[in-house]
Amino acid sequence: MRKTIPDFEKMKEIGEKISMLTAYDYPSAQLVEEAAVDIILVGDSLGMVVLGYDSTVPVTMEEMLHHTKAVRRGAPQTFVVADMPFMSYATVDLAILNAGRLIKEGGADAVKLEGGVDIEPIVETLTRAGIPVVGHIGLTPQTATQLGGFKVQGRDLESATRLLEDGSAIERAGAFMIVLEAIPRQVAAQISQELKIPTIGIGAGAECDGQVLVFHDILGLFKRFTPKFVKQYAELRAASVLAIKQYGEEVKSNLFPSDEHTFGLSDEVIQKLYG
């Protein structure tokens, strides 16, 4: 059964952790649904792990829609959150238009936007229009340049205080959930305690109300770089290369296809056709 926003509120209330994992296409969504993870995030991390860009910045609305639709087809029973790509919520009008598309055309249950106090009016407009919103504060990859790179946020008093203000602003604006990325656990714990909405951590410690990681990272499918917060649960890249290599070699050596994978004719038809 597809979980609902009240289910996530309840989970925070009773202390049941919320699991979230990214997925980007039909087969990955099927795997995540079969594994019974609570929420699928169609992250704009797809720019890096699926499309091979250097960052999430180039990801377009059309790309997000294309992948969100595939995920929805693969996981009809799972709550799906779709990332709004960089610049797709630069104004209130753009935000309404693009968030509406991810819900109506993409089939997402909710959208996720990066930012705190600065995007409070946008989150407020979206939620008033009936679009469920997930916030995302701390290390926000779309604006990493302004943060001075991919660095842990909230390490000093001033920065930690700003994160608390950002979290409150997002909650006040009507978001029903918030992602905390690359934040010291103590700060994430305080935000999780002060906010009523569930916090989903990535590199934010065990005190968050849930956790999120990237599909390709936990399965060992993306090796360009691995942040400290990633835990790899399988080594599918090596296993895949091995299998593909074996296939290629069997083609060369005539081991594939064998009779088992080959169609033939009955003796009777062979007799008629070829005498």
Using CB under 5 A as the criterion, which residues of the chain lie in contact with Na ion when the complex forms?
43-44, 83
**Shortest separation between residue 242's beta carbon and ligand KIV, angstroms:** 27
Q: How far is residue 26 from each of residues 32, 237, 263, 267, measured CA to CA in Å?
A: 10, 19, 30, 42
45 is in an annotated binding site: yes
- Is 34 among the residues known to form the active site? no
Phi, psi of 85 (to 5 degrees): -70, 165
One-letter identity of residue 264: G
Q: Which partner, Na ion, ligand KIV, none, binds residue 152 by CB below 5 to 8 Å per kind?
A: none
Which residue in the block uniquely carries the two structure tokens 């916030």? 135
CA 223/CA 141 separation, integer angstroms? 18
Q: Rounded to the nearest whole angstrom, what is the least distance from the CB of residue 128 to Na ion in the complex?
A: 24
Give the nearest distance from C-beta 207 to Na ion in angstroms.
22
Question: CA nearest 112: which of 62, 64, 54?
Answer: 64
Q: Which of 33, 120, 171, 181 is catalytic?
A: 181
Smallest separation (angstroms) from ligand KIV to the CB of 22? 5
With CB under 5 to 8 Å by kind, the binding choice for 120 among ligand KIV, Na ion, none is: none
Nearest residue (CB) to ligand KIV, 92 versus 144: 144
Residue 125 contact partner, candidates ligand KIV, Na ion, none, CB within 5 to 8 A by sort of partner? none
252 carries a ligand binding annotation: no
Q: Which residues pair with 179 in a beta bridge?
A: 136, 200
Dihedral sign, CA of 55, 58, 61, 66? negative
Give contact residues for ligand KIV (rule: CB under 6 A): 22, 41, 43-45, 83, 179, 181, 202, 212, 214
Q: Is 114 one of the annotated binding-site residues?
A: yes
Nearest to 22 by CA among 63, 83, 89, 77: 83
Task: Report how far residue 109's alpha carbon sits from residue 23's, in angstroms, rounded to the nearest whole number.
Answer: 14
What is the Cα–Cα distance from 78 to 32, expressed in whole angstroms? 9
51 and 67 Cβ atoms separated by less than 8 Å:
no
Nearest CB to Na ion, comparing residues 150 and 247: 150
* 122 vs 214 by CB, closer to ligand KIV: 214
Which of ligand KIV, Na ion, none binds 179 (CB below 5-8 Å, type-dependent)? ligand KIV
Q: Which does 208 bind (CB under 5 to 8 A by kind): Na ion, ligand KIV, none?
A: none
Nearest-approach distance from CB 44 to Na ion, in angstroms: 4
Residue 156 among known ligand-binding residues: no
Identity of the residue, 43 or 115, whose beta carbon is nearer to ligand KIV in the bound complex: 43
Nearest residue to ligand KIV on Cβ basis: 43
Rounded distance between C-alpha atoms, residue 159 and residue 178, angstroms: 18
Q: Is the CB of residue 39 less than 8 Å from the CB of residue 79?
A: yes
112 is in an annotated binding site: yes
Total Cβ atoms within 10 A of residue 193 = 9
Give me the active site residues, please.
181
Binding-site positions for Mg(2+)? 44, 83, 114
